[in-house]
Structure 1
Amino acid sequence: MRLEEDYIRAGFFWLPDNPDKKIPGILTIKNGGEIELEIVGLFRSDKEELLGNNSYDRIAGDIEKDGLVTLDKCFYTKKSIAFGGISKSKIHVGYVLSGVAYEPGEDVLFDRFSFSTDCLNEWMSVTGIKIDQDFDQGTACIEYTRPAPICYSFKNGMSLEINFEATIPGSSWTEEVKISQRVRLTLRSAALKPLSEFIATTHKITNFLCFAIDTVVSIKDVTATCKEITFEISDGMHHPKPIKVFYRSIPFSDKESAQNFHLMLFTHKTIEENAGEIFNKWLEAYEAIAPAMSLYFSTKTGAQRYLDGKFLALAQGLETYHRRSSHEMLMDEATYSELAARLMENCPPEHADWLQGKLRYGNEISLSTRLKRVVEPFKKHLGTKTEIKRLIRDIVTTRNYLTHYSEELKDVSCKGPELLALCSKMEVIFQLHFLQVIGFTETEVDQVVNNSFSIKGKLAPQPS
C-alpha cells in the first residue's frame, strides 16, 4: 500500500473487552503498509501480561484527527514489563480501520471497497477534459464533462466499478484554472462480505494491472463502507461512513511506478469491448494456476532479489503452469499401473522402498518436454528452431545446475548477461500464456507482441 507520507497519530488505546483501561500510544503506518503501535503502559496487569500470550485479535483506539480506530491481528514485537514503573512496548498491527471501533469478536463486513493504483490513469486513457483554442483570437475554452462510470460484474458476487473523480475551481474569479482527473476502482457487493474477500479480490485485480501495465503497481487510498455503519449528513438523512483501510499489501515497490503506454502490454482501450469477460477469466485463472501466477509475480515485485532466485522461480513457475493446465503423462494410467505392479513384483525386497519412491513420479514427463509444450503455441515469436532448442536446453541445464550444483553442468549453465536474457524470454512466455488465458486470440497476441516495446526488448537475441 502506497502512502505519500507516513501516517502518525497519537491517541489512547484499549482492549474492546476492557474499555475502561485506556493507555497512551502512537500509531505509525509507513509507506508500504507496515503498521506499528507504540504504547506507554500495558493493557492488562503486569502479572497477566507476563503469563498471558503476546497477541491480541483486536485493539481499539481514539486518535488525533481521525477519531475512533480499530487495530486487528496484533502481536508484541517488544514487550516491556516494568513491575510498577513505566513500560514502553511495541505492537505489530495487521490491519487498521480508521473511523470506527469494532466490538470484541464483531465481524468486519463491507459492501463497498474503493481504491486506486499507480499508473491507473494512464492505463485507462480516458479524459473528460476538452480544450478548444483559437490562437488568432487569443481565446481558449476548457470544458470538462465527467466520464460515465464503467461497471463489470464478477462471478464471485462482486462488481467492479471504474469511477472518474475530478477537482475543479470553486470560484468564478481566478487567475489560474486547474482541473485534475483521477481514476478510482470500487468493488461492490449486494451482500455484506468479510474484509478478507475484498482484499483477496483487490490483490488479484492489482496483479492483473501489473501484468497489463508490465510493471509493479501498488494500491493506495483505500476506503470501505458498510450500509449498517452510517453518519448523519442532515436532519434525518444518513450516509454510509467512509472507513479508511490500511494494511501491508502486495505487490508493492518503494518508488511509485510511471509507465508510458508504449511499454504496456495492453491498455483498457485494447480490451474495452469484452473487458468484463477478461476480468472474470483472470479471476477464474487463480482457481487453476494460482501457484504459477504467484511464482511469476514474485519475480516482478522484487521478492526475488538475486538473478539466480528469479530464474528458479520462473523455471518452477513454467513447470507448475504446465502441470496445472495439462494432464499429459508418459503413458496412460492403466498401462503405467500395470508396469509399476510388475516391476514391484520382481524387485528384491531390500530395494522395494527405493523403487516405490521412483515409481511414484515415474509417469511424469520431463521438464524439457513441459517446456516444449509451453513454447509450442508461441514459437514464431521466440525464434528459429535452433534458437528455441537452445532456449529449452539452457533453461533445463541452468535449472539443474542451480538446483544440484553438479560440477559437470557448471560451464554449460547460463550466468550473468546470458542468464538475464534467459529470464526475460521466460517472462515473455509467461505473459503470452496469460494473454491466452484471458481470451486473447492468436491475432490479438500477435498485435501485443508487435506493439509492445517491452516485449520486443525482452525477445532481443541472447548473447552468444
Structure 2
Amino acid sequence: MRIEEEYVKSGYFWLPERKDRKIPGTLTISDGGDIELEVVGLFNENVESINDVDDLSRINGHIEKDGLVTLDSCFYTKKNISFGGISKSKVCVNRVLSGMAYEKDEYFTFNSFSFSVDCFDEWVGVTGIHVDNDWTNEIATITYKPQKNITHHLDNGMQLEICFEYTPPNSSKKTEAKITQRAYFKLLSEELRPLDDFIEVAFKLTNLMCFAVDDTVTIKNLIANSSEIQRELSEGGSYLVPIHIYYKSIPFSEKEPNKSWHQMLFSYGTIKNNAQNVFNSWINAYEIIAPALNLYFSTKSGAQKYLDGKFLALAQGLETYHRRTSDEKLMDTSEFESLVSKISENCPEKYLEWLNGRLMYGNEINLGKRLNRIIEPFKDRLGDKKQRNKLMRLIVDTRNYLTHYNEELKSRAAQGRELWFLCQKMEVIFQLHFLKVIGLTDEEIVSIVESSYPLKRKLNEI
C-alpha cells in the first residue's frame, strides 16, 4: 500500500492478555506496507524466553497522535534481553489497525471500508471545481459545487460508492485561495463483515484500476468503520471511530504513476452508463479466471524481472484463460474414453502407469488451437491471416523452447527485441478479452480501441 507520509511513532505496547506489562517502542510503517515494531526489551522478559516461541499473534499499543493501535499477526525477527543494560528487540507486523485496541481473539468486523488508489481522481474525471476567467475585467472566479456520491450495488450484497471529499479555502489567508477535492471508493455493508471480505473486494477493484489505467496503481488511505465501535461526544450523541488500516498489499509500485485520462486504457466516463455491471462482471470473473488474471498482473507489476519469465507468464495466462472459459476437447469424451480403453487393453502391464500419465491430458487441445480460438474475436485487429498464423506459431515455438530448451527450436524462438514485441502482442490480446469480460459491447470495444492511445500503440506495433 502507498504510505504518503513518513510513519514513525513512539509509544507503549503490551500483549492483550498482559495489560500490566507495557514496554516502550517505536512503530514504523514504510511505503509499500512493511511494518516493524522495535521495543525495549521483550514482552516476556526472562532468560528462558530467549529460546521460546512467543505467541505474538496480537499486540496492543498506545502511540503518539494516533492513540490506541492493534498490531496483528506478529513475530520476533530479533530478540535481545538485557542484563542490567538496555536492549532492543524487533517484531515483524502483518497489519496495523489504528484507533482501537482489540482483545486477543476478537474478530475484526466492519460495516464500511473506504480506500483510494493512485490516479483515481484522473480516472474518475468528476470535479466540482469551476474556474471562470474574465480577461477583459481582469477578474478570476473560482467556485466549487460538492459532488454527490455515485452508488453501485454489488452482487455480493455490498454497496460500492465513488465518494468525493473536499477542503474549502482557509479564510484567514488573504493571499491564497485553495480548494482541493479527492475521490475515493467506499464499500458498505448493512451487516458486519470480516475485514478480509473488504480487503478481498478492494484487491479486485485495485486490479481493475490497474487494467483501466494500464499501469500498476497502489491502494492507499484505508479507513474502516463499525457500528459497534463508537465514541460519545461531550455535548451528547456519538460518532463512529475511524479505524486506519495498514498492511503490505499487492499490487505495489515504488514509483507512483502520473497519468492523465487520455493515457489510460479507459476512464470512468467510458463505462459510467454501465458501471455497475462492469464492477460486478470484473469481481465475479475472479471465480472463473483468477489464475489467468494473476498471471497477467504478475507481468504488469514487475513480479517478472526477466523478459523470458514475462513471456512464459503471458503464454501460460492465455492458455489458462481459454481453459477456464471453454470446455472444447480434441474429441467427444465418450469417444476418447473408448479409445483410451482400447489402447490400455493392448499395453503391457509394466508400461500402464507410464501410458496413463501420457493419456491423462490426451483429450486437451494444444496451445496453437487455444491461441487460434482466443484470437478469433479480434482477428481483424491482429493483421491478416498470414500475420496471425505467424504470430501464433512464434508464440508456440518460443513457449516450447523456453520450457524445454530444445536446441532444434532455438532458431525459431523469439529473442531480444522480437521477444519484447511478442509480449506486447500477447498483452494486447489479454486486454481486448478483459474488455469483453467486464461486459463491454463490440461497439464499445471498437470505440476504446480507436480512442485509447496505449491500445492503439500496441496494435500498431502488431
Instruction: Settle same-fold status: TM greater than 0.5.
Output: yes
Structure 2 distance, partners of 1:323, 1:17, is 50
* Higher mean C-alpha deviation, range 179-188 or range 278-287: 179-188
**How far has the Cα of 1:172 moved from its partner?**
7.1
Distance 1:173-1:363 versus aligned 2 partners, 3 A rule: closer
Deviation sequence 1:330-349 (CA, Å, 0-9, x none): 01111111111111111011
Distance 1:67-1:461 versus aligned 2 partners, 3 A rule: closer
1:185 equivalent in alignment to 2:185: yes
Contact 2:114 2:223 in 1 (8 A): yes
**How far has the Cα of 1:262 moved from its partner?**
1.5
Unaligned runs of 5+ in 1: none
1:251 equivalent in alignment to 2:251: yes
TM-align CA RMSD:
1.4
**How far has the Cα of 1:438 moved from its partner?**
0.9
Structure 2 distance, partners of 1:370, 1:280, is 27
Which stretches of structure 1, 4 residues or more, deviate above 6 A after TM superposition? none
Structure 2 distance, partners of 1:422, 1:453, is 19
1:52 equivalent in alignment to 2:52: yes
1:176 equivalent in alignment to 2:166: no
Deviation sequence 1:62-85 (CA, Å, 0-9, x none): 111111110001112222345675
Deviation sequence 1:277-333 (CA, Å, 0-9, x none): 110011100000000000001111111111111111101100000010011110111
1:328 maps to: 328
Q: Percent identity?
A: 55
Deviation sequence 1:149-170 (CA, Å, 0-9, x none): 1011111121111111111113
Contact 2:56 2:74 in 1 (8 A): yes
**How far has the Cα of 1:48 moved from its partner?**
5.2
What TM-score, normalized to structure 1? 0.97
Contact 2:114 2:186 in 1 (8 A): yes
Contact 1:13 1:22 in 2 (8 A): yes
What letter matches 1:263 in structure 2? Q
Structure 2 distance, partners of 1:172, 1:99, is 31
1:101 maps to: 101
What letter matches 2:223 in structure 1? T
Unaligned runs of 5+ in 2: none
* Higher mean C-alpha deviation, range 9-18 or range 77-86: 77-86
**How far has the Cα of 1:204 moved from its partner?**
0.4
1:432 maps to: 432
Q: How many residues align?
A: 462
2:293 maps to: 293
Deviation sequence 1:385-420 (CA, Å, 0-9, x none): 111111111111111111111111112111111111
Contact 1:7 1:28 in 2 (8 A): yes
1:349 maps to: 349
**How far has the Cα of 1:54 moved from its partner?**
4.9
What TM-score, normalized to structure 2? 0.97
**How far has the Cα of 1:235 moved from its partner?**
2.2
1:143 maps to: 143
Contact 2:118 2:219 in 1 (8 A): yes
Contact 2:170 2:177 in 1 (8 A): no
Structure 1 distance, partners of 2:458, 2:147, is 36
Structure 1 distance, partners of 2:297, 2:408, is 32
Structure 2 distance, partners of 1:113, 1:461, is 41
* Higher mean C-alpha deviation, range 373-382 or range 133-142: 133-142
Structure 1 distance, partners of 2:139, 2:172, is 17
Structure 2 distance, partners of 1:357, 1:32, is 44
2:305 maps to: 305
What letter matches 1:414 in structure 2? A
**How far has the Cα of 1:356 moved from its partner?**
0.7
The DSSP-based 3-state class of the residue aligned with 1:44 is: coil
1:127 maps to: 127
Structure 1 distance, partners of 2:173, 2:292, is 57
